[in-house]
Amino acid sequence: MADTTRTQIETLRQLAKIVNESLDTIEAAYSQAGVALPSLNSPTFSSADPAEVLRTEPAVARATLDIMAAAAQLSAEVCSPLTMVLNASQSFYLASCLNVASELNVVEILKEYGAGGVHVDEIAARSKTETGLLSRILRLLATHHVFREVKPDVFANNRISAVLDKGQSAADLFAKPEERFTKDTGIVALVEYCSDDLLRVSAELTTTILNAQPNVYPYNRAFDTDLPMFYFFQRPENAYKLKRFALGMQGIQTTSSLSEGVLGQSGFEWDTLPADAVVVDVGCGNGHVSLAIAQKHPKLKIVNQDLARQVGLAKQYWETEMPSHIENQRVEFQGDADHDFFQPQPVKNADIFLLRFIAHNWDDVKLAHILQKLRDAAMPTTKLVILDKIQLFAASWEPLLSNWGVGNAEYYYFDMGVHNMLGGGERTLPAFAAVLARAHWRLDKVYRPQGSHQPHIVAVPM
């Protein structure tokens, strides 16, 4: 018993050492840069803040990951298993309360009062909500470090809640709720989509597994539809869902900027492509990924492909952000009247087929079908570039998990999300290699852009 205790205490001390050494790394980086580490209690957040930009520096990013993993494991090591499992079983309340706060524009109300905050009575009056319940919702969030309870029933924004600022006044948001999202509020759209649609869908996971039927996923059960999610979005009554989802996919880049995720250092070398090289963005969504590429590399020709409504959104986005490419006929938009990626690929001269957050939407059979259509249309020199997460195994290192545990939790949340929506999932690198080979592509190289969790998986024709 004593030996076991000593061994366990040594594990805890190793974890604490990781935390302390990582703090030393972060302190040194911020001291050298001459900027202050942001405070959790700050009522504002800006991804352009030099202090936030410094987080993407490799040493700081790794130290942060180590702290997140070690601190969470320390907690799991010492906490009662009963407490851990009960807390996990009720974590959905965090998502539902976060959705309430965003829908009621609490962040925008609190922004008007600064760091001192305001009594919940005022928030309730502005949002036409019952005071007692709203206080309890905000207190649950503050307990998880989203918002700050300055003193009893007085709440203020903190650095985490400020992320959900939609950039408008609370009065304007209440007056025109249909205009609550803009292209700059994708992260809020993503949070609301996850804490609304995905929360509802996740409740159907067990039932779907226990009553398995072909092509019936939790999304189909939750919304009582036999249509795949993306086709369900095409219905006129789901226009808001589609807009929110599309902006949410754009908002994913807020966690690592679009320039870093697609164009950053150590990523795929877009600048090596020749003038007039054709880049086909397969399943382009809002078209923001190919737009970012074209803005930095205007010599390229772009083809955006998706279902009709998504392509319509993409065209509107390009008309606003880069009309010159449209005027010069250097970008083309192909909706499902022209192309469905389960059908033969119409572009036969592509230098690049780009799939960003497409592969994970489909199971291996369907993804192989999509990739085979691209392979059939590929030239010998065509490259397939997949921007998707690569799931890491959770096998144990000592003392940390080899995937950094909760530090990389987004990989596993996304995995469940795409399964529940479409039956897909995130893949390990061996799984990517296998499905590529099934469609006659060979995994050639994996780029890991600095400051991004979004690798670039490059394949060439077999």
**Three-state secondary structure readout of 223-281:** CCCCCCHHHHCCCHHHHHHHHHHHHHHHHHHHHCCHHHHHHCCCCCCHHHCCCCCEEEE
State the Cα–Cα distance between residues 302 and 313, nearest whole angstrom: 16
Q: What angle do CA 266, 430, 270 make, to 5 degrees?
A: 25
Q: Of 155-169, 252-266, 381-395, 418-432, which range is least confident?
A: 252-266
Q: What is the pLDDT of residues 23-73, one digit of tens each?
A: 999 999 999 999 999 999 999 999 889 999 899 888 999 999 999 999 999
Enumerate the domain spans of the chain. Answer: 2-84, 90-177, 256-390+427-461
Q: Is the pLDDT of residue 254 over 60?
A: no
Q: What is the pLDDT of residues 327-371, one digit of tens each?
A: 999 999 998 766 688 999 999 999 999 999 999 999 999 999 999
Strand 154-156 with 352-356, pairing:
unpaired
Beta strands in 110-174 (DSSP E): 118-119, 148-151, 154-156
Residue tagged 């001291």 (tokens):
31
Q: Which helix (H) or strand (E) holds 430?
A: helix 429-438
- How many other CB atoms are found less than 10 A from the CB of residue 246? 26
State the Cα–Cα distance between residues 170 and 191, nearest whole angstrom: 18
State the Cα–Cα distance between residues 348 and 154, nearest whole angstrom: 62
Q: Which of 120, 93, 115, 87 is nearest to 104 (CA)?
A: 120
State the Cα–Cα distance between residues 125 and 131, nearest whole angstrom: 8
Q: What's residue 253's pLDDT?
A: 60
Strand 154-156 with 118-119, pairing:
antiparallel
Reading the block at residue 341, the tokens are: 């990626």
Q: Which helix (H) or strand (E) holds 352?
A: strand 352-356
**Per-residue confidence band for 178, with pLDDT thresholds at 50, 70 and 90:** confident
Residue tagged 């709440």 (tokens):
155
Q: What is the pLDDT of residues 209-231, one digit of tens each?
A: 999 999 999 999 999 999 999 88
**Per-residue confidence band for 421, with pLDDT thresholds at 50, 70 and 90:** very high
Q: What's residue 257's pLDDT?
A: 47
First CA to last CA distance, the chain: 58
360 is catalytic: yes
What length is written for the chain?
462
State the Cα–Cα distance between residues 241 and 233, nearest whole angstrom: 7
Which string of DSSP letters, residue by residue, matches 295-307?
A: HH-TTSEEEEE--
Q: What's residue 98's pLDDT?
A: 98
The structural architecture, per CATH, of the domain 256-390+427-461 is 3-Layer(aba) Sandwich (3.40)
The structural architecture, per CATH, of the domain 90-177 is Orthogonal Bundle (1.10)
Q: Is the pLDDT of residue 2 over 80?
A: no
Specify whether the CB–CB gap between 351 and 383 falls below 8 A: yes
CB within 8 A of 91, min separation 6: which ones? none
CA dist 377 to 330, 380, 461, Å? Answer: 21, 10, 10
Q: What angle do CA 71, 77, 78 make, to 5 degrees?
A: 95
Q: Which of 165, 171, 203 is nearest to 184 (CA)?
A: 165
Q: Is the pLDDT of residue 397 over 80?
A: no
> 295-334 burial, b for 16+ CB within 10 Å, e for fewer?
eebeebbbbbbbbebbbebbbebbeeebeebeeeebbebb
Task: List the catalytic residue out of 325, 360, 419, 453.
Answer: 360
Torsion of CA 373, 375, 379, 382, to 10 degrees: 110
Arithmetic mean of pLDDT over the chain: 93
Whether the bond between 38 and the residue before it is cis, its omega within 30 degrees of 0, is no
Cα radius of gyration (the chain): 23
Q: Which of 141, 167, 177, 160 is nearest to 40 (CA)?
A: 160
- How many other CB atoms are found less than 10 A from the CB of residue 73? 22
